[in-house]
Structure 1
Amino acid sequence: MRTKTIAVVYAFGAASPVQISRAADGLADIVFVTDTRDEHSASVTSILRDLCVDLVDLAETDHESAVRRLRSRVDGITTFSERCITLTSRLAADLGLPYHDERTARLLTDKHLQRTALNAALPVATPTRVVRCLDDLAEAAESVGFPLVLKPLSGTAGAFTYRCDTYDVLHETVRRLLRDRRGQDGPSWVAEALLRPGRHPGGAWLADYVSVESLIRDGEVHHFAVTDKLPLAPPFRETGMVSPSALTGERQREVRALTSAALRALGVTHGVTHTEVKLTPDGPRVIEVNGRLGGRVGRLIDRVSDLDPVRLAIENALGGALLTASPVFSGAAVVYGVLPPSRRVKVGAVPTAKTLRRIEEVWKVDRMAGVEEVLDWEQGSGQRVCDVWAETGDLTAVPALLDRLEGAVSAAVSFEPV
């Protein structure tokens, strides 16, 4: 039997080249499609070439040539990067392969259009307005109200996302963004009503929102996991996550049902999605739907269950058997991200992997920033010093583990003003 081939459109995102390669092992050969005009993609080009049977570099070939090169050899296509969803949709359409269609891809990557579609379909609407200039602010403030969230029309990782409690704060924030040309090439932002804060029934050590990881095939939806989050760093920067979820079965059914309704509203019929859901006092509310596997989710679930979500996404793209069973967990895993304070800083000291590995539950430390490197909190949770990955026998041991991680990090990391 011929080995199948998967086209993976690659940029910085949820799964690394090595993760993707390991997940595809014994399942499919990989053709990476990337653009080395992007700094990150250029930095990992040699790794990509080592892990695939072919690399299509869009910096060296046009779209039509890329399609001709792929047409005769690939059996499926996917991406793990938010910024590649639109490109992957276009390639899939030209290749006749299943993926998000053009309309759905646009709804998944344009936060205002997505919220408008969700408002039309879900029982409770969240007011939203597009902001392109200072003249838009009065209407946005009147229709959305305060407090509100201001975020890029298209973006990830909480980058350039702000809480505005008054008109003066909103005005000054947009004025500064326009002046400094930060956050958007456009520029365009979305002003949305801030969802009411709630609490996670699992305890105050968890954030008041979760994510639902879903696989969709021919319109059939299977939610394969619910993932808990650690409390956000101000204003909306994700610090970490925990798997499996501490939500009861009934609460998980609520968020899964809401996610199914959201996916139907956006026309998602094929792929893997990551939906963030707020646990408000009035019930679960959709924060946003992402048209790819959630960042760091794949490694987290794979570590303590019998399911590799990255492999699942590849199998789905290739038309393999549809997953019908939920993963079986053998323990609990946590990823703890070390973020800078809410100001622009230079890294003064960082914890060594050796120091953090002294905590017996820690199995991996990913270094992302070094001494003297400048970190900009406005660029969101992607600006991290490191990620610490750890696992325990069950969820009840996670709060104490987090206390030890926080203590070890606090003693070893420092920041200096810029």
Structure 2
Amino acid sequence: MKKILLLGGPVFQKPVIERAKSMGLYVGVADISKQAPAAPLADEFFQGSIRDYEAMLAIAREFKPDAIASGACDTSVVTVARLCEELGLPGNSVDAALNSTDKLRMIKCFAQEGVAHPAFAVAKKAELDVFVPPFPYPIITKPTDSAGGRGVNLVSSPETLLSALQTASAAGVSGDVLVEECMSGPEVSVEIIISDGVPHVLQVTDKLTSGAPNFFEIGHVQPTSLSCEQRKAISDVASSAVLAVGLKNSVAHAEVMLTSEGPKMVELGARLGGGWITSHLIWNSVTGIDMVETMIKVALGEKVHDFNFSNSGIYVATKFLPAREGVLSGLNGIESAKDSEGVIHVEVHGTVGQRYSKAVDDSARFASVVANGKTKEEALSNCDRALSLIEVQMG
């Protein structure tokens, strides 16, 4: 029996584990927490930080996997690439992994290869208090090396700049902050498989965010409601972006803003999209290919040549129930939500007894719902109806 080791056990890793098992694989999962949401589904669980290369190397040598993958976890992309290189397994190059996770390296790749992107500058950790943006307000501040919307802020004036820079710096590892011009327009994600250096865009996803100042995700819909011409332009930019960072045999989740000047890259990840995008949404909105299964095949070194896929004609949406401040004492109505019209999946993210702050990024959610419909509006309405049946109790 072949083995796959997944680094990271977040909730969106669950469908990856389930699909790997359905393919006859023995699945190991490594995560810093024994309480990682996906841990109970693994055949073997290993506790350790997925940022700790030496610890993960020791685990990999013990487990002896045929493939190592990040799945839907951004934090482990570089560690996975280094392990694959050391152990002679298929995977992204370390350079491509670094380019796909360090936002400063990423945007420099875009600039070098002529991929449309926002104007940018970097505020070094030691110089936050003297940094002056080289372009007009409003601006966006974000950590150079974090994910999930952590530390992202819209800054409208010099008076709030230092606070935003400090927030972004604290949310990253290096402490450096990427500062970008604030783009405006519809934001979408693009789900891509790169095979032998050729990008294949499976789907463009409409993205719903909380808006300023943090822009964390509150939902997604597939397929996009943008025109065919706009979808083509977005797909072209995203395809150029994944090649610019050096991805050759990989999956990718790219985020693009459709500005008045055309589509521009926000950022990308060399991994599956979270938020049920590359599992439940693509499983229902696209026929002819399974993105999760394909990611696993690529990780095993299998060549994928059949890209005969198309829209299914079904609209699929997911919406999240963001956390609010206080101690979560209960979530009632989950079964009613599951039985609601059009609902495909309901997931509980909140932990009863845990204290939460008001949501400011993608990490703080109480629940999520996936639902389908004949139109985008119907799919979203079905999500909203199901979420309305969930009663949040705060202590």
Q: TM-score range by the shorter chain?
A: 0.7 to 0.9
| 1:91 alignment partner, one of 83, 90, 93 | 83
Shift of 1:165: 0.8
Segments of structure 2 that go 5 or more residues without pairing to the other structure are none
1:372-414 CA distances to partner (integer Å, 9 max, x unpaired)? Answer: 643334651221121011111x22xx32453464466457556
Higher Rg of the two aligned structures: 1
Report the residue type matching 1:169 in the other structure: T
Conserved? CA contact 2:318–2:383, under 8 Å = no
Report the residue type matching 1:339 in the other structure: P
Distance change >3 Å, CA 225–CA 67, structure 1 → 2? same
Distance change >3 Å, CA 350–CA 45, structure 1 → 2? closer
1:72-121 CA distances to partner (integer Å, 9 max, x unpaired)? Answer: x5443321211111110011101222211111111111111111211222
Segments of structure 1 that go 5 or more residues without pairing to the other structure are 199-207
The match for 1:29 is 25
Distance change >3 Å, CA 408–CA 223, structure 1 → 2? closer
Structure 2 Cα separation of the partners of residues 121 and 157 of structure 1: 26
1:259-280 CA distances to partner (integer Å, 9 max, x unpaired)? Answer: 1111121111121000011111
The match for 1:281 is 260
Conserved? CA contact 2:138–2:181, under 8 Å = yes
Please state if 1:164 is matched with 2:155: yes
Structure 2 counterparts to residues 268-417 of structure 1, below 5 A: 268-295=247-274, 296-297=276-277, 298-306=279-287, 307-318=289-300, 319-340=302-323, 344-347=325-328, 350=331, 352-357=333-338, 359-369=340-350, 373-377=354-358, 380-392=361-373, 394-395=374-375, 398-403=376-381, 405-406=383-384, 409=387, 413=391
Any idea what SS the aligned residue of 1:224 has?
strand
Please state if 1:113 is matched with 2:109: no
Distance change >3 Å, CA 356–CA 74, structure 1 → 2? closer
Any idea what SS the aligned residue of 2:293 has?
helix
Distance change >3 Å, CA 403–CA 11, structure 1 → 2? closer
Shift of 1:33: 4.5
TM-score by length of 2: 0.86
TM-score by length of 1: 0.82
Conserved? CA contact 2:222–2:281, under 8 Å = yes
Structure 2 Cα separation of the partners of residues 272 and 104 of structure 1: 12
Shift of 1:140: 4.1
The match for 2:13 is 15
Shift of 1:20: 2.3
Shift of 1:330: 4.5
The structure 1 segments of at least 4 consecutive aligned residues displaced by more than 6 Å after TM superposition are: none
Report the residue type matching 2:172 in the other structure: Q
Structure 2 counterparts to residues 49-128 of structure 1, below 5 A: 49=43, 58=48, 62=55, 64-69=57-62, 74-80=65-71, 81-122=73-114, 124-128=116-120
Conserved? CA contact 1:304–1:333, under 8 Å = yes
Distance change >3 Å, CA 111–CA 144, structure 1 → 2? farther
Distance change >3 Å, CA 339–CA 104, structure 1 → 2? same
Distance change >3 Å, CA 236–CA 164, structure 1 → 2? same
| 1:209 alignment partner, one of 187, 200, 218 | 187
Any idea what SS the aligned residue of 1:87 has?
helix
Conserved? CA contact 1:33–1:58, under 8 Å = no
Any idea what SS the aligned residue of 1:302 has?
helix
Structure 2 Cα separation of the partners of residues 224 and 185 of structure 1: 32
Shift of 1:258: 0.6
Equivalent pairs, count: 386
Conserved? CA contact 2:209–2:215, under 8 Å = no
Identical counterparts, % of pairs: 21
Report the residue type matching 1:355 in the other structure: S
Conserved? CA contact 2:109–2:244, under 8 Å = yes
